Amino acid sequence: MKVDDAPHNLEAYDTFYRTFQWKSAQKELDWFDGKLNAAYNAVDRHAHTWRKNKIALYWEDETGNEKKYTFEELSFASNKIGNILKDFGVARGDRVFLFLPRIPELFFSFLGILKIGAIAGTLFSAFQEQALLDRLGNSEAAVVMTTKELKPRIDKIRKKLPALKHIIVVDAESFITSFAHAPEELHISHMDPDDYAFMLYTSGTTGKPKGVVHSHRAILQQHMTARWVLDLKDDDTYWCTADPGWVTGIAYEILGNWSLGITSLVYAGRFDPAKWYELLAKYRVTVWYTAPTAIRMLMAADTELVKKYDLSALRHMCSVGEPLNPEAIRWAIKTFDKPFHDTWWQTETGAICIANYPSMNIKIGSMGKPIPGVTAAIVDDSGTELGPNQEGNIALSPGWPSMMHTIWKRPHKYKSYFTRHWYISGDRGMQDKDGYFWFIGRADDVIKTSGERVGPFEVESALVSHPWVIEAGVIGKPDPMRGEIIKAFVVLKNEQRKSITDKKSEEALKDELSLYVKKHLAGHAYPREVEFIDKLPKTRSGKIMRRILKAKEMGLPVGDTSTLEEY
Ligand code: PRX
């Protein structure tokens, strides 16, 4: 069908338009008899073209180690991992989790897992035993790949993971030897586009983290948005600063960027303004995808610092994960002579859905417009579309290619995302008369700290497992640098309460609780602020009313308290 043949009925037009868009993406990727493998499309097909000797990955760590891999080398390295995993008995559909820092083996392994039809799960290396247990337990992972340094955290919980058959330590002598000897050739599984490829655990307001499952088809949208929104072209050097423990690191540090054959930089180190500018200059990075907290931290660094580096290669910059404040865009225009382009999406959406793509005029403070082929709207709680400038739920019309396939073992949770004809994102926003979307906030209690998504329930559970704590309520407290910080309101047992005699003893208790969460749950998900209170505001049915804690913290009216038990 040609574009001119498009039917005029709007709904039909929409279906046609989407099909048309994704069909063009489909043509660019290699599908064999309706089968496709995302890892093959990301790497191997380039190893069969002129890109064979093109650098796919520049890698550098904090201590100055540097490595680089061509598309062919990446293809071979991931084939080797696929072969090793097969020798361990890994079969199609098995879950293989990566508990690895951002080392090259993480990238080889992710691709190798997909190539043999297994499902890759990524775990942020700041996770501690509770976070690991929740994720590995629920997914019933058969294999965990890790390092000598991180392995003790898995050892601690191993007895509670009956499905876990192997722990593969990628820096152990035995693995290094088998990697060296493993065959470079691998039969790559032809997958149905709907077969599961990777999963990520993410947080909601209640309950444990949920396993968001994506299929091989997701690469379609990752591929097209890497072109349309990140504007990646063959001569680019691209740097995505995300960790593959989060969805951005999978979609745009592995699949979308490499499926376009783009040379990509990975830096395995902590944030440091001088180092970041040095990397941008040294690799002559042309396209940069990062997050607002990092941008704000760069803004806060010495203004003279950036002037020491030649950043003239930079031509396009994008941001994701949390609201991109107008000051950050203005600073970027002043500093780099170009703005950051905001992009909006979620673990569940699998790829960018709303964005300021390069051909658009940016309205500073807006997230932009839905990408071609995605229909977005603002709807009320019953799924009815609202008009311009009205606040409501940011919703998407289901069916975009990278939409999550399910929530692992929780089909009801999956269903709960949908109201009538809409996928409800959990974000509040509005759309202006020109079609631009504006982010207002979360509809639930999910916390975004330094761009990372944290569920208050996980932090509360960790606090309550401390012997001093009766109960805890956790909120995201607005923070000028990190977007939000985690703040915990804690009810202490009598004995501990009495032990507080002065400011010093109180601070010592608070520090102990923060550290406890850091050590048991995750290095990034601990409360930076703790406040002791006598009682938590709760509904009559016993649910903690976090919105009241938040309103009080911010000195705002507490709103409707009709369901509140006496407080
Ligand atoms: O609240 C929105 C916020 O991040 C949430 C999704 O988080 P996560 O699943 O960890 O994925 C982050 C990276 C894809 C959203 O529900 N968020 C994401 N992008 C933006 C944003 N908030 C404001 N502006 C954005 N551009």
What is the CATH architecture of 3-431? 3-Layer(aba) Sandwich (3.40)
Q: What is the pLDDT along the chain (567 residues), one digit of tens a residue?
A: 233 333 333 444 556 667 777 887 888 888 877 889 999 999 999 999 999 999 999 999 999 999 999 999 999 999 999 999 999 999 999 999 999 999 999 999 999 999 999 999 999 999 999 999 999 999 999 999 999 999 999 999 999 999 999 999 999 999 999 999 999 999 999 999 999 999 999 988 778 899 999 999 999 999 999 999 999 999 999 999 999 999 999 999 999 999 999 999 999 999 999 999 999 999 999 999 999 999 999 999 988 999 999 999 999 999 999 999 999 999 999 999 999 999 999 999 999 999 999 988 999 999 999 998 899 999 999 999 999 999 999 999 999 999 999 999 999 999 999 998 999 999 999 999 999 999 999 999 999 999 999 999 999 999 999 999 999 999 999 999 999 999 999 999 999 999 889 999 999 999 999 999 999 999 999 999 999 999 999 988 888 999 999 999 999 887 766 666 655
Q: Which residues contact 420 (CB under 8 A, 6 or more apart)?
A: 382, 383
Nearest one of 444, 396, 443, 442 to 418, comparing CA atoms: 396
pTM of the model: 0.94
In the reported structure, the alpha carbon of residue 456 is separated from the centroid of ligand 1 by a whole-number distance in angstroms of 16
Hey, is 188 helix, strand or coil? coil
Helix boundaries (H) for 182-234: 219-228
Q: What is the pLDDT of residue 2?
A: 33
Residues 6+ apart with CB under 8 A from 331: 295, 299
Question: Is residue 439 in contact with ligand 1, taking CB distance under 6 Å?
Answer: yes
Ligand 1 pocket mutation, candidates 250, 322, 445, criterion most atoms within 8 A of CB: 322
H-run or E-run covering 498: helix 494-499
Nearest CA to ligand 1 atom 22: 322
Minimal-distance CA residue to ligand 1 atom 4: 321
Q: From atom 13 of ligand 1, which residue's Cα is the shortest distance away?
A: 321
Atom of ligand 1 nearest to the CA of 425: 16
Verify whether ligand 1 is closer than 6 Å to residue 347 (CB atom).
yes
Query: What is the number of alpha carbons within 13 Å of residue 428 lying toward its C-beta?
Result: 12
344 CA to centre of ligand 1 in angstroms: 6
- Residue 118 alpha carbon to ligand 1 centre in Å: 28
Q: Do domains 3-431 and 447-554 have the same CATH topology?
A: no
The pLDDT value recorded for residue 353 is 98
Look at residue 204 in the predicted model and tell me its pLDDT. 81
For the chain, give every domain's residue range: 3-431, 447-554
Chain-centroid distance, C-alpha 478: 21
**Nearest-angstrom CA–CA distance, 192 and 408:** 19
Residue 138 Cβ < 6 Å to ligand 1? no
The pLDDT value given to residue 564 = 66
CA of 121 relative to ligand 1 center, distance in Å: 20
| Element spanning 147, H or E | none
User: By alpha-carbon position, which residue is closest to atom 11 of ligand 1?
Assistant: 346
The pair of three-digit structure tokens given for residue 528, joined into one six-digit string: 């930076």
Give the residue, out of 222, 255, 346, with the most ligand 1 atoms within 8 A of its beta carbon, to mutate for a pocket test. Answer: 346
365, 356 contact by CB (below 8 A): no
User: How many angstroms separate the Cα of 463 from the Cα of each of 449, 459, 523, 532?
Assistant: 18, 6, 14, 12
Residue 455 CB less than 6 A away from ligand 1: no
Asked if residues 481 and 467 have their Cβ atoms less than 8 Å apart, the reply is no
Q: How many CA atoms lie within 13 A of 118 on its CB side?
A: 29
Residue by residue, DSSP assigns 91-132 as: -TT-EEEEE--S-HHHHHHHHHHHHTT-EEEEE-TTB-HHHH
Q: Does residue 367 line the site of ligand 1, with CB under 6 A?
A: yes
Q: Is 241 left (phi over 0), alpha (psi -120 to 50) or beta?
A: alpha
Return the CATH number of the domain spanning residue range 447-554.
3.30.300.30
Residue 415 CB coordination number (10 Å): 10
What is the C-alpha end-to-end distance of the chain, expressed in Å?
Answer: 64
- Structure letter (DSSP) for residue 159: G
Q: Please name the residues in contact with 117: beta carbons below 8 A apart, sequence gap of 6 or more.
A: 37, 91, 92, 93, 189, 191, 195
Q: Is 107 in the pocket of ligand 1 (CB under 6 A)?
A: no
Cα 412 to ligand 1 centre (Å): 23
Q: Do residues 252 and 222 touch, judged by C-beta distance below 8 A?
A: yes
Q: Is the CB of 393 under 6 A from ligand 1?
A: no
Are 393 and 379 spatial neighbours (Cβ–Cβ below 8 Å)? yes
